[in-house]
Amino acid sequence: MSRVAYVNGRYIRHAEAGVSINDRGFLFADGIYEVIEVFGGRLIDEEGHLQRLARSARELRLDLPVAEAALRRILRELVARNRVSDGHVYLQVTRGAAKRDHFFPKAGTPATLVAFAHRGDRAAAEARAQSGITVISLPDIRWKRPDIKSTSLLPNVLAKQQARDAGAYEAWLVDAQGFVTEGSSSNAWIVDDAGALVTHPADSAILSGITRARLFQVAAARGLNIVERPFALAEAFKASEAFISGATTIVLPVVAIDDHKIGSGAPGPVASGLRAAFHDFAPATP
């Protein structure tokens, strides 16, 4: 079965799907995106992701080319046509195709909408959660608006590759004051001395993760306190547990940061418990 993607109103074989070389996404990374988990054939936290997409569009003065109801239909169509049971849907909107010029294209230039679905490997994800991941720290060199889910991800891409080159899975980005903001493609969490979950406030320094927001609810139901405050890298080194969250990873325990063993050096009960409970709380829409 060949994979099918959506491009500007058409479902096209993945291998043949493409956009113009004049596309603003290609030329300027002038676009926004979302990644939504598909679990058991259902979209997880779709509402939150679409709300965040609308916000990103507003912040960048970008007009979405289709209404939300149509977007929901497209995502379902992709899940169905690609027979995705567990995996993700990816959608991206750019400011459209126009002769290369930094100014916005003239009014009426349609935005580009591309979406595709891909299957995940549930067993591999579980194995990773069982072993835990390692993280390196790097300076956060991103622009001052990472709260917008923009496709301008060069610092994130460089950080992620640097993590891989160092044998790690994720990079935690550290601001000028020494505080961990978030991961290159995930939110960052620790468990503090009092057993509370600590994660950076959802201000303009981080992406306000949809998984992160859902975990607040999961944690509360498990009687865990959550504190939104910046934490220093030094505090993370001494934390009893650390973990990351995101639509592609849900919760992954962090067992080492920069060669500092976290807790016992094995996944801890808090992170593992949150991971196990996550899908009991996250709305799943067919």
Site string for ligand PDD, 150-169 (x = CB under 6 A): ------x-------------
Q: How far is CA 189 from CA 105, 237, 240, in A?
A: 40, 12, 11
* Minimum CB–partner distance for residue 65 and ligand PDD (Å): 21
Q: How would you class 59 by CB atoms within 10 Å of its CB: exposed for 0-12, middle for 13-18, buried for 19 or more?
A: middle
**Near ligand PDD in 39-98, by CB under 6 A:** none
- Contact present, 180 and 200 (Cβ < 8 Å): yes
Among 25, 132, 246, 267, binds ligand PDD (CB under 6 A): 246
| Selected catalytic residue, list 149, 160, 238, 261 | 149
As beta bridge partners, residue 244 has: 188, 252
Query: Stretches 71-79, 100-108, 180-188, 195-203: which one binds ligand PDD (CB under 6 A)?
Result: 180-188
Q: How far is CA 25 from CA 11, 33, 56, 97, 229, in A?
A: 20, 11, 15, 8, 34
Total Cβ atoms within 10 A of residue 176? 7
Does 182 interact with ligand PDD (rule: CB under 6 A)?
yes
- Contact present, 213 and 246 (Cβ < 8 Å): no
Q: How far is CA 199 from CA 181, 275, 279, in A?
A: 8, 16, 21
Judged by beta carbon, residue 97 or residue 186, the one nearer ligand PDD is 186
Contacts of 204 (CB under 8 A, 6+ apart): 144, 145, 146, 147
Q: Is 149 a catalytic residue?
A: yes
* Minimum CB–partner distance for residue 180 and ligand PDD (Å): 12
Query: Stretches 69-77, 179-187, 192-200, 229-237: which one binds ligand PDD (CB under 6 A)?
Result: 179-187
Judged by beta carbon, residue 7 or residue 213, the one nearer ligand PDD is 213
Site string for ligand PDD, 204-243 (x = CB under 6 A): ---x-xxxx-------------------------------
Residues labelled as active-site residues: 149
Chain residues in the site for ligand PDD (CB under 6 A) = 35, 156, 182, 185-187, 207, 209-212, 245-248
